[in-house]
């Protein structure tokens, strides 16, 4: 199961990179370059949601789900190796003899 989720995670990672590179910037048109309507707002005018933005959102959700599930699966398989796992035990220090 771990390897299956890992393969899905890598595929989704490459898909996110590709889908983001295909998208056009928010003010990448010619009007935004010369101070047109695109530069009146902080990130340009909001248009209709395209298929690429929907795919980006769903793949980001899938990426987060696979990331969390990989973290949980790896922590269960490797045992309790937390930094704070030994916090309740008293620390003993020895001083060297002079």
Of 3, 5, 20, the residue nearest 62 (C-alpha): 5
Give the residue numbers spanning the domain of 19: 1-23+50-76
Q: Which two tokens stand for residue 76?
A: 């269960």
In a domain, 71, yes or no: yes
pLDDT in tens, 34-89: 655 544 555 555 666 788 889 999 999 999 999 999 999 988 877 666 656 656 66
Asked if residue 6 lies in contact with residue 70, where contact means CB atoms within 8 angstroms, the answer is yes
> What is the tally of structural domains in the chain?
1
In a domain, 91, yes or no: no
Q: Which two tokens stand for residue 86?
A: 């030994």
Q: Which pLDDT does position 37 carry in this prediction?
A: 54
Q: Which pLDDT does position 6 carry in this prediction?
A: 95
Q: Which pLDDT does position 44 carry in this prediction?
A: 55
pLDDT in tens, 24-36: 776 555 555 565 5
């Amino acid at each position: 199961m771990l390897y299956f989720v890992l393969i899905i995670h890598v595929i989704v990672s490459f898909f996110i990179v590709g889908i983001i590179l295909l998208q056009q910037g928010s003010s990448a048109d010619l009007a935004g370059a010369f101070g047109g309507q695109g530069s009146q707002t902080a990130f340009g005018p909001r248009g209709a949601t395209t298929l690429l933005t929907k795919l980006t959102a769903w793949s980001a959700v899938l990426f987060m789900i696979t990331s969390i599930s990989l973290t949980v699966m790896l922590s269960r398989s490797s045992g309790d190796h937390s930094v704070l796992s030994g916090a309740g035990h008293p620390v003993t220090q020895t001083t060297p003899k002079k």
